[in-house]
Amino acid sequence: MERRAPLLSREPWERHPRYPRQTLLLGSHDNFLAINDRLIERAGRVPELEALEPHYRYWIHAMRSHERYEELKLYPYLEHRFGVSFEPSRAGHAELHEKHAAVLAAFRGVDASDDARAALVDALTEHRATLHAHLTLEEMAVIPLLLELSPEEFERYYALPLSKLVPTSLHRET
């Protein structure tokens, strides 16, 4: 598969000596945007829109797994380590869930009409805009902190579960 240029600008970090080793997330983020773009494109042209829904649901399942990692390990660790809040990123996940509900509603309304196709394309396009905004915000909050970690601390973070990194009493309930 051909390597594409990143869909989000990362120029400020590319000169850092620990880039890309300590960045995490970036490949997944690019893939999420590319898949959203592909779904929009396909929704505008495929004859049977119902065939897209399983692909959409599979993709969302992967994104939800990614979100769980962030909310259950990455954010709590960085919050503890640097004393920052990732509530805006958590709120972005909630906004994405709302856009997901709108896409599912559009899939439920799918028929052969141009209006139904337009509604699905619009819902996917709104999802994409929310996704891009969330990923940009998240990367601006996360990547500088990951690059600030020493290589040894990053390896420790990467290798160990949160319970070994942060006192259990500080873990968030989800």
pLDDT one digit per residue (tens) for the chain, 174 residues:
333 444 556 878 888 999 999 998 899 999 999 999 999 999 998 888 888 999 999 999 999 999 999 999 999 999 999 999 999 999 999 999 999 999 999 999 877 678 889 999 999 999 999 999 999 999 999 999 999 999 999 999 999 999 999 987 555 554
Three-state helix/strand/coil letters over 112-167 = CCHHHHHHHHHHHHHHHHHHHHHHHHHHHHHHHHHHHCCHHHHHHHHHCCHHHHCC
Dihedral pair phi/psi, residue 154, rounded to 5°: -65, -45
What H or E segment, with its residue span, contains residue 112?
A: none
Cα 166 vs. chain centroid, distance in angstroms? 24
pTM for the structure as a whole? 0.88
pLDDT of residue 173: 53
pLDDT digits (tens, 9 = 90+) for 106-137: 999 877 678 889 999 999 999 999 999 999 99
| Secondary structure of residue 5 in the 3-state scheme | coil
